[in-house]
Amino acid sequence: MKIEIYDIRKDSIAKDVWLYSRPNLQSANSKEIEGIDAPINDFPTIYLKVTSTIIEREIIASFRDHIMWAQTSRVQDPISFTVSPSVMARNGSFIDLCRGEMKRQKDSGVRQDEYRMLMPLTADTSYMLKVSPRLLAKIYHQFKYLSKINSMFTESADSILQKLIALGVQFDKYSWIDVNPMLKLIDTGTIGDYGVVYSKVPFSLRTHLIRHNILSVKDTIVSLIRGGIDSMILGSTIDVQVAADRNVWESIYSKRSCWLAHYNMWSQILTPIADMFGFSDSLLPCENGICPYDGDARVRYTDADPGVPCPKHAKIKSISMNLQEARDQIQIENRPEFWQEYVK
């Protein structure tokens, strides 16, 4: 893991906040305040440029208060992924196997979204990270814990520790709680207004779920780490249990069931949720007859976007299209049954 400090904002603000909260005080000891394990030390902000493995990035993303923006594989060929020298020395044959199969699938016409599922979880990824000193310390404690399970995290724990020392963060004053507790109870159903889904999903979906901070997510990521992360890819299976209020699920379902969205990856979560709450096409963002993504939808009728045009958009705009292609796409992407009404 490579970490570069990009910027530091308001490193003295914790003292200012402390004095503001206690107007009877005239002064305060900055060092004492900086050692308090409380939200006051979430006010200072550190911006970091990080390059790590995908699995390490996902451990950081498990801290639900993280703010991260990663480079997308859509601006670069995923086949050109890189790995660290230590990963190559440890598992070079598997890396070569994955790259070779990705190239074969690309050459045979397989879509990028599909062949990138072969990318190893030990591949490099780069991202910007916004953290507080307190959060960075807790991330360090998590990596230190994981290094006892798998030695590949030792180097990363050391890299984070060096930055904490350079920043003068009193990391030993901050408590640690495991943000990746093992999923034990397997259940699906409703509890009041909450919908809970258990499913085995591709790891790539886990990267989406964990970034929806309003979702409660438990999974078996530590089992993957313990069982041999070197042979895992984005398409590898992970057990997840996800819970949220009905209104939250409605919002997610509305966005993900849109024809322009990739529903297939989410289907294992959203299909049982739709059955629980009786969701239908009334939740589509174009229910009022106006497509909010009209520009993107129209590109589907041209060679500029190889995707299949939206059959509902075609009906709304009275545009002819190949309905058989849409029927096939419904099957391929496991789209909700209500889409059949638009391809008759």
Secondary structure element (H or E) that encloses residue 189, with its range: strand 189-191
Q: Give me the pLDDT at residue 201, please.
A: 95
Residue 11: per-residue pLDDT: 65
247 Cβ contact partners less than 8 Å away, ≥ 6 residues apart: 193
Beta bridge partners of 117: none
What is the CATH T-level fold of the domain 2-91+122-173, as seen in this structure? Gyrase A; domain 2 (3.30.1360)
pLDDT on residue 74:
57
* Ordered per-residue pLDDT tens for the chain, 344 residues: 999 999 998 767 999 999 999 999 888 898 899 999 999 999 999 999 999 999 999 999 999 888 999 876 556 789 999 999 999 999 999 999 999 999 999 999 988 888 999 999 999 999 999 999 999 999 999 999 999 999 999 999 999 999 999 999 999 999 998 998 888 878 889 999 999 999 999 999 999 999 998 999 999 999 999 988 999 999 999 999 999 999 999 999 999 999 998 888 899 999 999 999 999 999 999 999 999 999 999 999 988 877 899 999 999 999 999 999 999 999 988 899 999 999 99
How confident is the model at residue 22, as a pLDDT? 93
φ/ψ of residue 218, rounded to 5: -125, 145
Task: Give the residue carrying structure tokens 């009334």.
Answer: 282
Which fold, 189-279? Gyrase A; domain 2 (3.30.1360)
Question: Given this chain, do its domains 2-91+122-173 and 189-279 carry the same CATH topology?
Answer: yes
What residues form DSSP beta bridges with 4?
49
Where along the chain do its domains lie? 2-91+122-173, 189-279, 283-342
Rounded CA Rg of the chain = 23
DSSP string, 118-136: G-BTTSEEEEEEEE-HHHH
Contacts of 11 (CB under 8 A, 6+ apart): 44
